[in-house]
Amino acid sequence: MRIRPETPTDRPAALAVTEAAFASRASGGRTVEAVLLERLWESPAYLPALSLVAEDDDGAICGYVITTRAHIGQVPSLGLGPIGVLPERQGQGIGRLLLEESIARATALDEPCLVLLGSPLIYGRFGFVRADERGVLPPEPAWGADFMVRALTGAPLPTGNFRYAPPFDAL
């Protein structure tokens, strides 16, 4: 297994992984996550160095994560996701590898934090905590405990209203 930055030629496979990973939540047609992914690739908030594929030993892409520029108040931060793994490859640690590499790369870039919407049971194991309890307010208050943040540097965590990349606004 190899985790590496995506290239433009990886996009069809990354899109297929995202469609498959979220297909159970789709109500006919394309998944919201796949449509969002296409919009994020075209956005100025897209960060190629933080958009990663998981490639198996045969060179097939089996997992994908995108991290885009976001803001907490006026402070630049990062929004992680969507993250997905092919259903038949789930439970093999691919998502964990993608997440760990995302954290490592964002830290190396001296980014202040990563923010995501996901299960505290899953993401809590990776140092993510409830964001509103740390002063990072979600775009939707109903997200509650599922809206999470992870500080990446020793600097104080920025506080204020969180804004994902503009393509998220169209969801």
Average pLDDT over residues 88-104: 96
- Alpha-carbon span 57 to 89, nearest angstrom: 13
Structure token digits, residue 5: 């930055």
Report the Cα–Cα distance between both ends of the chain, in Å, rounded.
Answer: 33
4 backbone dihedrals φ, ψ, rounded to 5°: -150, 160
By three-state DSSP, how is residue 141 classified? Answer: helix
Q: pLDDT tens across 4-53, in order?
A: 999 999 999 999 999 999 987 656 678 899 999 999 999 999 999 999 99
Mean pLDDT of the chain: 94
Domain ranges for the chain: 2-170
The topology under which CATH files domain 2-170 is Aminopeptidase (3.40.630)
Average pLDDT over residues 52-70: 97
Q: What pLDDT does 170 receive? A: 81
Q: What pLDDT does 30 receive? A: 82
- Alpha-carbon span 36 to 59, nearest angstrom: 25
* pLDDT-based confidence at residue 117 (cuts at 50, 70, 90): very high
* CA-atom Rg of the chain in angstroms: 15
Supply the angle between the helices 32-41 and 11-22 in degrees, to the nearest 10.
150
Q: What pLDDT does 171 receive? A: 77
Give percent of the chain with pLDDT exceeding 70.
Answer: 98
Give whole-number Cα distances, 39 to 14, 35, 67, 146, in Å.
13, 6, 13, 23
